[in-house]
Amino acid sequence: MPDLPLREFGGKGAFIAEIEEALLAGEIDLAVHSAKDLPVEDDERFVIAGVLPRQDARDVLVTRSGVCLEELEHPLIGTGSPRRRFQMKALLPDASFLELRGNVPTRLQKLKSGVCDGVILAAAGLKRLGMEQESGFWYRYFTEEEMLSAGGQGIIAIEGKTGSSASALAGAVSDWRASLELAAERRVLQILQAGCHAAIGVFAEADSQKMRLRICMEAEGAPRCADETVFWNHEEDHRAQALGLAGQLAGSL
């Protein structure tokens, strides 16, 4: 199972179905997820009740110390993500890829043992585990211009039943910035019908004045990108403006 492609056993939703069943049964009041692992499609029975402040949303290429991928012939990169593969191919055309899953320590151990020459991981996961500077490895943090992150990457989402008191409590402590960013990114993915098999990056950056939204996707083997900024009209609802920007930008592709 750990080395099978995610699509072969149900996609991202396979990991959260059991948790949502517990929510419906009243066995738990709230569920905590990595936001990028939530299915794109909304389910009226559930709500993303709140989100935590966003951690580093970048991707990281990890190699063994002293290994320079540019000097290798056909370096082998461990990742199961179509998005990472198509963006990495633009940066390193000679690269080939290995389907690689499992938790962060498992992936780093496979790298250490020589199963592959490098692995691509989420910076947020590394930092939350305190593994962003393990000895014996070299870490290259991609800029968003080099590798645009997945929708929801770096965000912890709190899921609850629609209309429950627990969901209301989670909403009261939700981070406003991450909430707006996640809403815009999910709307893009919904409009483009981009599930877990899609090679698409989408990243929103919000502050008190504006939101910038970027999309980069693979279309017929080539990248198709869009980038737009909306300045908040403080007489309007910011969430509505964020969703409007997402619809406009996704529609342009």
Place of tokens 């198709």: 224
Contacts of residue 79, defined as CB under 8 A and 6 or more positions apart, other chains included, come to 85, 88, 97, 98, 100, 119, 120
Q: Give the CA diameter of the chain.
A: 57
Q: Is 37 a residue of the active site?
A: yes
CA dist 167 and 224 (Å) reads: 37
CA dist 169 and 229 (Å) reads: 32
Q: Which two tokens stand for residue 63?
A: 């190699």
User: Coil, strand or helix: which one is 233?
Assistant: coil
The torsion region of residue 66 among left (phi > 0), alpha (psi -120 to 50) and beta comes to left
Provide the angle, in degrees to the nearest 10, between the axes of the packed helices 176-191 and 238-251: 30
Give the chain's radius of gyration (CA, Å). Answer: 19
Which one of 3, 37, 56, 175 is the catalytic residue? 37
Q: What is the H or E stretch that residue 22 is in?
A: helix 17-25
Contacts of residue 112, defined as CB under 8 A and 6 or more positions apart, other chains included, come to 64, 136, 137
Residues catalogued as catalytic: 37
